[in-house]
Chains A and B, each alone.
Chain A
Amino acid sequence: MSNEQSMRRVTAIRNGTVIDHVPSGQALRVLEMLGIAGETSVPVSLVMNVPSKKLGSKDIIKVEDRELTQAELNRLALVAPDAHVAIIRAYVVAEKLSINLGEEVVNVVRCTFSNCITVNPREPLPHRLRVVSRDPLQLRCHYCGRPQDLDDLVNNVL
């Protein structure tokens, strides 16, 4: 099946954001990381496990009437670092964005270690995870130094 056919499993959107090349099965996590899970006022479509030349299979997400910002997209580095993002205006691709994983992931997720100083929700300093390796992705808490389990981490989205 061609890429175009995969994209057309759901209707083209007039305005909004398309996130393509999401690793297969990660679409729900992506929505969670973006804070779109659960109640939202904008239409959201997703297809999961469609064939992909590059990834074998992939997920695609379309968020209507909302242009995700670069800062929002950077949150996806933990689950879909190679996703392609397009901002759609009047049915055409107006902008292409990529996801940037910086040196640190700040205020996106909370450290997974149960005895880290940051477990107190009233402590005001930012949650900071240092990127120690990009491939494979490895993160450590800036404060307690503990390595982070990525599967646990996506449950700690702020």
Chain B
Amino acid sequence: MTGLITMDDLTNEEILEILDDAERLLPVARGEMYLPLLQGRIMGNLFFEPSTRTRMSFETAMKRLGGDVINLGDVKTSSVVKGETLFDTIQMVDGYTDIIAMRHPRQGAAQYAQDSARVPILNGGDGAGHHPTQTMLDLFTIRQAHGRLDGLKVVLAGDLRYGRTVHSLSHALVRFGCELVFASPALLQMPEEIVSDLREHGGSVIETEDLYGSINDADVVYMTRIQKERFADEDEYARCAGAYKLHARHLSEAKEDMIIMHPLPRVDEIDPSVDETRHARYFEQAFNGVVARMALLCKLLDVPVPEDVAAAGGAL
């Protein structure tokens, strides 16, 4: 494979292999041992749009595996502000690095970068398009909680129109035979072309505005933030903001092993009362970003993860 632009770049078997690799790398991600599988490799971190978790977890993943990272830095002080094309930026960074992690406000930028580059591109989000590395950490988190990916009932709630996280994740979940419930305000429904794609691929999809009525038989409730920055119209944002506020009292009838996920940052869609419940998984999910990206970096750089990580690694 070259890069990871959308989840279509991975087969189900490859997804499961990468999740297995990630599982074995957990002690390395936690800093309990040192395993410099990527020593001598350099990753270019190109974030043309703000990011906290994705950028930092890519950087942590690379460094935990002994690799180095160079950063584009603030777009306002880079050549981008001088009018440099994405093509030219990629040509330059391609020469400096072995792999590029990238986020860009324009949809299709990751594919464009991959077509311009020699090194693999890891898509860390392109506009409202795809976010496959987030999907991998989401799948890791779901499998960690339920021991499997197939046949689960997953409720995706909030901003399904602009939320690239849920776009990539729903494609992947359908491939594993999950049943999806899309709960969103009418203005923020999942784009029609994605719903029809999912149904064409045999996906079971229910669309509703009733989040709270969908919780009780769910295995996973995946909340998302209503993203102010994606709205051109302030009034539209005002009508959607605060549509869902998940509180601990909404979870009294939930399944014992149901988990609540969120790609973070949250605003007020998950009340802090939920943090103390057995269902809250969003902080573990954020940590899993490191281990999932470690496994992806190894896969794309063609570096096998040892079967026995404990034997291969050393003390810090």
Taking Cβ atoms with an 8 Å cutoff, the residues of A that contact B are 111, 113, 115-120, 122-125, 141-147
Contact = CB atoms under 8 A, between A and B. Distances in A.
B316 to A, nearest CB: 41
A118 B85 contact: no
B2 interface: no
Nearest to B193: A147
B231 to A, nearest CB: 13
Contacts of A116: 106-108
Contact of B106 (A119, A122, A142, A147): A119
Nearest to A144: B108
Contacts of A125: 87, 112, 115-116
Given A123-B112, A125-B116, A144 B85 contact: no
Interface in B109-153: 109, 111-112, 115-116, 126-130
Contacts of A119: 106
A144 B107 contact: yes
What range describes how many residues of B lie at the interface?
20 to 34
B87 A144 contact: no
Contacts of A120: 85-86, 106
A123 B87 CA distance: 6
A115 B207 CA distance: 26
Contacts, number: 62
B3 to A, nearest CB: 13
A15 B104 CA distance: 51
B6 interface: yes
Contacts of B129: 144-145
Report which residue of A111, A117, A145, A147 has the largest number of chain B beta carbons within 10 angstroms of its beta carbon: A117
Nearest to B109: A117
B107 A122 contact: no
Contact of A123 (B85, B107, B126, B128): B85
Given A120-B86, A124-B87, A144-B106, 10 more contacts: A116-B107, A116-B108, A117-B86, A122-B83, A124-B85, A125-B116, A142-B108, A143-B107, A143-B108, A144-B108
B128 A122 contact: no
A125 B115 CA distance: 8
A147 B107 CA distance: 13
Question: Nearest 6 CB-CB pairs, A to B?
Answer: A143-B108, A144-B108, A144-B107, A117-B108, A117-B106, A117-B109
Nearest to A142: B111
Contacts of A143: 107-109, 111-112, 115
Nearest to B113: A117
B171 to A, nearest CB: 11
A117 B86 CA distance: 9
B226 to A, nearest CB: 19
A32 to B, nearest CB: 25
A123 B129 CA distance: 19
Contacts of A122: 83, 85
A145 B108 contact: yes
Contacts of B86: 117, 120, 123
Interface in B148-191: none
A86 B87 CA distance: 41
